[in-house]
């Protein structure tokens, strides 16, 4: 036997992955007669590194891919990365900053050369890390959204949509990042609760009656952004508000500005909020923009693209930064008697996820896709059952967004990305074409300038399911793998990615992009908290695989932080969450943990203790394999069918349980219940095979009959070999290593477990009688063990068992009972159990008693002392839990642990009290 004594995950992981990849096992088959199965990897950002969400979703995708590959499907897991327009440009510009260079100084072409250089040197970090997770993508087909082929697809889609009238250019309100100076998507805007102020400002009525009250002479408007009042075009009140109905149509003098604005009535206004008067600034608020459109009001943009006050505002504020202008405006309002009051106010501030600056709604010229007709087809595909969401509740979310869809802003004011294929002549006339030559031919002009903007990254991502397969060419891959089988992704990009892929695929290929969408939950820490660097609870999947000491973990998290206070906070929180660092669990244990957590819920609590439990599982499987090798290697394992085999009830039970597990696992894969299939594998290996069958097999291997030995060894190796194939999609490395050793003993041949057929249940092998027989045997053994525990018997002490019940069953079971219950003998009592102080166990029609002399007085004394000790523990736990400050301030895990201790102590106290009563 050449299997190492202990399981060393790092050694086998490094060895097997390179073997798999170099052998080409990840490539799809060329057999056209096979059913196709395809998963598209949601392309991670080229700037990214592997995080817990990636590792979790990739585990599920890989499990499905390996499973279907072993089921004989023509299987493709299509990998690739996204060019991540904004993120990548920021990374490279920050590098240039260190050299005192600006991209504007370099020029567009030189800057883009620098970005491509960075991509080649540093842009493959995440794909290298994915290999550590065992992902079996076909890396020979790896794609990048800026590859020539995918770029060609992007241009083709843009040109076709434009010529179909579905792409247009217009001035509309967008999310604007003043630092990046580009439009950004909603996904790139993070709303954070912050402390702010609510300023109440007096807007005087034009031609007000000096004898009137304050209410009739002015309207009071509340705002959190007083600088935007310079762009006000109206004040709105609710049409049913009796306080202001008589004022609708009148005009107000806009404070600090030499103009008047109308009072309008609109149901957008909340009657109950504030004063019931809302300033309307359509150029700088999305809701106000819609109100202005309904009332035909012309927006006034008072910001430059870098968020300074422009020349449409009063001269004294022009050129000022928006927040400096806010201070000046507040002071001027106060000095001129327009500021009524200032109140503290909690608000949700929209910040850019990359720059953390406040995002401004900004009126700019952008390119848009008209979405109505595209959305209609997307809705129909789901309504008609062509696409199914799991869990089903996400169908409603998908439908709701498409039913209320807005036109999609697809242009970005960046240099890195797919440049918009539109050219302008000297008069500003636009020509959309595949290239410059075509544009010149169509426009009749040789003096053309290409649009400076690039396309939103989500535009190229929306084409991912078919562009990666070679579209617009009619490739064999496109014919074979579209529609793909399932998309696995998070709920947060149903709108930005999932829905857009559906619409684009239907429009350009007349096929759905995928048949099913499995929406996963979010990974949180063990207490349900969102993982964040500041909280110190972030986990790096590679740290879990390789392990990391506390000092190295702290250094990793605080290196590069410019703020010493922030570094101190992160170090403190890291010590709190990981006081002993993180031990190495290996890839298989981490993958098993992810699978076990993948229920159909939204939030997933990741607990390191579960990782430790699955590392122990891997050790258990390893040690069981060592036992099988020691007892079966170079011995008869029943491969010669001509020799007799005597299968015991235990053998038939183990074979039956294997078939049941195969049935349940197949169903779990079908329903995306990775948690259930992980549990089935765990229970099958740990509880049934290792804890029971191996122990029963030891008894059988001590038999004198060769046919029993042969059947036992055959069952040991064949069931273990099937278990390894069952578990391979979840834990690929350890199963490959062990399969290589076990397969020859089971009569299996092949270069890799990956190429073996996945086990399929054979229901004719389910022997119900053997299942019932072994269930009874297990109950009797457990009862005997419980009796030993009650009587505090040493594990080394063998004692006689007195039993009443079916003598034939007891005789048949006796070899197993003697070994597994540590009995010296079994005495079948025809006339009933003798009167004694010893406890009695009842199992169905059987009564069991261990015959042992008990010093009643000494046992009473022992039990009394133990009861006194447990009562003290109960009292201590109750005192803690009755203390409100403990329950409120202690971590939730500590409180839960204390409650569990109290339950355990109370149970133990009840058991001890019953024992003492028996002795009395």
Q: What angle do CA 204, 209, 214 make, to 5 degrees?
A: 50
Place of tokens 């196709």: 36
**Residue 385 per-residue DSSP state:** T
Asked if residue 874 lies in contact with residue 906, where contact means CB atoms within 8 angstroms, the answer is yes
134 close to 591: Cβ distance less than 8 angstroms:
yes
Joined tokens for residue 578: 């990981």
Helix/strand/coil for 819: helix
- Name residues whose C-beta falls within 8 Å of residue 55's C-beta, 6 or more positions apart in sequence: 133, 541, 590, 594
Asked if 823 and 801 touch (Cβ cutoff 8 Å), the reply is: yes
- DSSP state for residue 92 in the 8-state scheme: H
Residues 196, 226 contacting (CB under 8 angstroms): no
Q: Residues 183, 188, 191, 195: is their CA dihedral positive or negative? A: negative
Cα angle 550-56-461, degrees, rounded to a multiple of 5: 120
Phi and psi at residue 190, to the nearest 5°: -110, 120
Residue found by looking up tokens 């997933």 in the block: 604
SS3 346: strand
- As a whole number of angstroms, the distance between CA 233 and CA 293 comes to 12
Tokens of 524: 């949180």
User: Residue 533, annotated ligand binder?
Assistant: yes
Cβ atoms of residues 31 and 763 within 8 Å:
no
Q: What is the CA radius of gyration of the chain?
A: 36
d(CA 123, CA 859) in angstroms, rounded, equals 71
Residue 365's nearest CA partner among 422, 416, 315 is 422
**Chain centroid, CA 581 distance in Å:** 24
| Of 912, 911, 913, 909, residue with least CA distance to 901 | 909
User: Alpha carbon 313 to chain centroid distance?
Assistant: 47
Cα–Cα nearest to 185, from 522, 455, 375: 455
Contact status, residue 617 vs residue 700, Cβ threshold 8 Å: no
Q: Which residues are annotated as a binding site?
A: 533
Which amino acids are annotated as binding site for ATP, given as ranges? 533
């Amino acid at each position: 036997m050449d299997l190492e004594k202990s399981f060393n995950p790092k050694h086998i992981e490094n060895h097997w992955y390179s073997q798999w990849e170099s052998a080409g096992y990840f490539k799809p088959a060329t057999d056209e007669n096979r059913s196709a199965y395809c998963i598209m990897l949601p392309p991670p950002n080229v700037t990214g590194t592997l995080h817990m969400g990636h590792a979790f979703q990739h585990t599920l995708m890989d499990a499905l891919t390996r499973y279907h590959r072993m089921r004989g499907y023509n299987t493709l897991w299509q990998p690739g990365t996204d060019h991540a327009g904004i993120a990548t440009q920021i990374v490279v510009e920050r590098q240039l900053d260190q050299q005192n260079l600006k991209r504007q100084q370099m020029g567009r072409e030189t800057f883009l050369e620098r970005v491509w250089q960075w991509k080649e040197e540093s842009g493959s970090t995440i794909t290298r890390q994915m290999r550590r997770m065992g992902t079996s993508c076909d890396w020979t087909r790896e794609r990048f959204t800026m590859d020539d082929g995918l770029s060609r697809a992007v241009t083709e889609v843009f040109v076709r949509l434009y010529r179909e009238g579905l792409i247009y250019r217009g001035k509309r309100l967008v999310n604007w990042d003043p630092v990046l100076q580009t439009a950004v998507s909603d996904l790139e805007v993070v709303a954070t609760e912050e402390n702010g102020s609510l300023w109440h400002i007096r807007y005087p009525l034009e031609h007000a009656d000096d004898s009137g009250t304050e209410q009739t002479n002015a309207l009071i408007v509340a705002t959190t952004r007083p600088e935007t009042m310079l762009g006000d075009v109206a004040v709105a009140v609710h049409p049913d508000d009796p306080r202001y109905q008589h004022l609708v149509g009148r005009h107000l003098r806009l404070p600090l500005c030499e103009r008047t604005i109308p009072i309008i009535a609109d149901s957008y206004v909340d009657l109950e909020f504030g004063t019931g008067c809302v300033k309307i600034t359509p150029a700088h608020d999305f809701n106000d923009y819609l109100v202005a459109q309904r009332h035909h009001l012309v927006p006034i943009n008072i910001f430059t693209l870098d968020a300074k006050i422009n020349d449409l505002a009063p001269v004294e504020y022009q050129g000022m930064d928006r927040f400096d202008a806010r201070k000046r405006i507040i002071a001027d309002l106060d000095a001129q008697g327009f500021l009524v009051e200032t109140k503290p106010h909690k608000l949700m501030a929209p910040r850019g996820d990359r720059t953390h600056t406040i995002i401004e709604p900004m009126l700019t010229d952008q390119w848009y896709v008209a979405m109505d007709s595209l959305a209609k087809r997307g809705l129909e595909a789901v309504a008609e059952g062509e696409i199914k969401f799991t869990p089903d509740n996400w169908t409603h979310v998908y439908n709701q967004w498409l039913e209320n869809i807005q036109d999609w802003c697809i242009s970005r004011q960046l240099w890195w990305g797919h440049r918009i294929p539109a050219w302008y002549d000297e008069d500003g006339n636009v020509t959309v074409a595949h290239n410059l030559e075509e544009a010149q031919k169509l426009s009749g002009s040789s003096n053309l300038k290409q649009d400076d903007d690039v396309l939103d990254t989500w535009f190229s991502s929306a084409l991912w399911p078919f562009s990666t397969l070679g579209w617009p060419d009619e490739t064999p891959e496109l014919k074979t793998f579209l529609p793909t089988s399932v998309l696995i992704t998070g709920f947060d990009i149903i709108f930005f990615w999932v829905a857009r892929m559906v619409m684009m695929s239907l429009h350009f290929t007349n096929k759905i992009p995928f048949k099913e969408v499995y929406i996963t939950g979010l990974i949180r820490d063990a207490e349900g908290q969102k993982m964040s660097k500041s909280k110190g609870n972030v986990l790096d999947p590679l740290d879990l695989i390789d392990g990391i000491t506390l000092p190295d973990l702290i250094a990793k998290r605080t290196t590069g932080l410019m703020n010493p206070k922030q570094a101190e906070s992160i170090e403190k929180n890291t010590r709190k969450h990981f006081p002993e660092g993180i031990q190495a669990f290996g890839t298989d244990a981490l993958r098993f943990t992810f699978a076990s957590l993948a229920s159909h819920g939204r939030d997933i609590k990741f607990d390191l203790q579960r990782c430790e439990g699955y590392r122990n599982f891997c050790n258990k499987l390893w040690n069981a394999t060592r036992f099988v090798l020691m007892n079966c290697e170079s011995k008869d394992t029943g491969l010669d069918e001509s020799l007799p085999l005597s299968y015991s009830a235990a053998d038939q039970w183990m074979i039956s349980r294997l078939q049941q597990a195969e049935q349940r696992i197949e169903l779990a894969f079908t329903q995306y219940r990775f948690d259930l299939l992980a549990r089935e594998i765990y229970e099958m290996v740990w509880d049934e095979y290792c804890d029971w069958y191996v122990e029963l097999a030891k008894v059988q291997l001590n038999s004198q009959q060769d046919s029993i030995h042969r059947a036992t060894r055959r069952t040991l190796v064949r069931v273990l070999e099937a278990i390894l194939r069952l578990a391979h999609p979840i834990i690929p490395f350890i199963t490959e290593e062990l399969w290589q050793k076990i397969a020859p003993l089971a009569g299996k041949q092949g270069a890799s477990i990956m190429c073996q057929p996945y086990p399929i249940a054979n229901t004719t092998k389910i022997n119900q009688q053997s299942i019932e027989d072994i269930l009874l045997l297990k109950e009797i053994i457990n009862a005997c063990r419980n009796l030993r525990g009650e009587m505090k018997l040493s594990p080394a002490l063998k004692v006689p068992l007195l039993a009443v019940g079916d003598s034939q069953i007891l005789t048949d079971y006796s070899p197993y009972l003697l070994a597994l219950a540590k009995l010296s003998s079994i005495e079948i009592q025809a006339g009933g159990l003798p009167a004694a102080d010893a406890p009695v166990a009842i199992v169905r029609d059987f009564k069991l008693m261990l015959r042992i002399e008990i010093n009643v007085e000494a046992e009473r004394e022992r039990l009394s002392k133990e009861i006194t000790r447990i009562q003290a523990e109960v009292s201590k736990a109750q005192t803690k839990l009755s203390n409100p400050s403990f329950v409120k301030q202690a971590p939730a895990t500590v409180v839960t642990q204390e409650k569990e201790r109290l339950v355990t102590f109370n149970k133990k106290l009840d058991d001890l009290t019953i024992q003492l009563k028996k002795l009395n």
